[in-house]
Structure 1
């Protein structure tokens, strides 16, 4: 399935389309209008049901992390409309999550969280989700924790970071009626720290995810698969820990309109059957809302078009 150089690649297998047990989704916008865009994207694809609704809580204030945004109401209505849908919600572990907080301060925050200082924020989020009728939300907690940028990054204190993750999960699971699932989703590759060093334990992780874009590390898709802490490592790690896999974020990036990458990634998904995958659909990553990737859009649409 791996395409080499400019040689034509075989058409991707269609098994990971809208039907079956793999939920397909797309990140379409930050607000509640994305719910309407899900239907529009489905129409563009030719009618397949998009079963994974994916959005993010803002990481600016604790109030927003507690679930204040009104867009959650629209997503909850979408989720409740069909029993086979998944609502996927990325949840920051700190406020000021994209504020360029230095490592020393991040380490202090991690230690404070590990002592339980922020438990109440996450308990309130869990209560909000239960009240909205989405107690089975997939929580992508502290995504891309192996990277350099987010305040919820792991590298400044991996051991206390894991303790903090465990406190958050315990707080959210303490809410009556919740059936939340927690998705551990690092960046593909080594990045700032090996993501295995951040893994908090099988009892507090339900899904092994990975965010993977067409960018280094890995100049070819084969390198993205076989590099240390790459796609194959994720699959092997999940199998060893008896967990399903996911791709909460994936798409084009540094190599522009790249239909070979699109075929290869869709083929990988077809072969490995994640619980869900969600393409990031805005420029430069996307295929529907972004018109600068027409050849990749054609591959994506052909792959999913006509699925039940």
Structure 2
């Protein structure tokens, strides 16, 4: 957001950064793998380098809110030198403090130190998804029944991080698609404090799948679920309008398919999800800036070459993987 460190008192940002939509080349593509050592072989399978590489800040303690203390499998600086970086960061580690303390600015030094650490490791212009999925109780830094507190905490974090010399971060405000446990717009920090609107969206539904569901039944349920994701309260259509109304670009820092045996709610190996997603972003190419597929190498969302997948708990998404590659990878 480019705040001037000399003007960070009060609850207003010192300046405002204009955010443009996606450029003429179309939305950029990123990946989260949870294993930096898997990036090069994944990109080899994909047919090109990704535009964004994504990682999470560990939440075990403030000491992990420093790049030098994070458990990367290869130096992150070398990855950042050739790709843009998207960082997912909770507002605080839950064992150390509270949302109220962050809102009061009590940990500005910690957030400023994290900013300095990113800058020193070649990520001064990283894109930061902070306090994500705040509309769900599953997020320990959520805004449910405390939206004003969340907004103050968000602003305190942005103010502190932008006070670091050379900081040029972009901040993504990213609820989970749908209502969750609150009206997510109650926790919107304000246009001056947000660069992009982001969404978490997965191919999951409690309607997946009835017993003895044949091919036609499976396709019908997959189409129905996609339509629900678009048209539900706070669905894709709503957020596209919200982003345009606020003159923000739209990003998808976390999205993908879900193993069918994940809580009985996953759509499984569903290429249709990526097909419909590609169609939707193409029809909103003035708005969508980037999308980052979530495929942790040991998780229920993996897409990619089977030799990189290290879990036998979840099914392989071979058809969805090929569809994703054909849609967004090499020609």
TM category, shorter: 0.7 to 0.9
Q: Which runs of 4+ in 1 moved over 6 A?
A: none
The answer to whether residue 50 in structure 2 is matched with residue 61 in structure 1 is no
Give the Å deviation of 1:186.
0.8
1:122 aligned residue? 111
* Among 273, 276, 294, the residue aligned to 1:280: 294
Give the Å deviation of 1:70.
5.1
1:7 aligned residue? none
Describe the SS at the equivalent of 2:88: strand
Question: Conserved in 2, the CA contact under 8 Å of 1:256 and 1:284?
Answer: no
Cα offsets for 1:131-179 (capped at 9, x unmatched)? 1121000010011111111211111311111011001100001111110
The answer to whether residue 324 in structure 2 is matched with residue 300 in structure 1 is yes
Cα offsets for 1:85-105 (capped at 9, x unmatched)? 3100001112137x9xxxxxx
Give the Å deviation of 1:269.
2.5
Structure-1 separation of matches of 2:43 and 2:72: 20
* Among 69, 86, 89, the residue aligned to 1:88: 86
Question: Conserved in 2, the CA contact under 8 Å of 1:144 and 1:185?
Answer: yes
Change in 2 beyond 3 A, CA 1:305/1:181: closer
Describe the SS at the equivalent of 1:222: helix
Give the Å deviation of 1:267.
1.9
Give the Å deviation of 1:56.
0.3
Matched residues, number: 272
Matches within 5 A, 1:1-308: 20-29=25-34, 33-34=35-36, 36-45=37-46, 47-67=47-67, 68-69=69-70, 71=72, 74-80=75-81, 82=82, 85-96=83-94, 109-216=98-205, 219-253=224-258, 254-273=266-285, 274-282=288-296, 283-288=299-304, 289-290=308-309, 292-307=316-331
Question: Conserved in 1, the CA contact under 8 Å of 2:29 and 2:328?
Answer: no
Structure-2 separation of matches of 1:259 and 1:73: 31
Structure-1 separation of matches of 2:125 and 2:77: 11
Question: Conserved in 2, the CA contact under 8 Å of 1:217 and 1:224?
Answer: no
1:12 aligned residue? none
Cα offsets for 1:206-229 (capped at 9, x unmatched)? 010000001138852111011111
Q: Which runs of 5+ in 1 are unaligned?
A: 1-18, 100-107
TM-score, scaled relative to structure 2: 0.77
C-alpha RMSD of the superposition:
2.2
Describe the SS at the equivalent of 2:98: helix
Structure-1 separation of matches of 2:73 and 2:242: 32
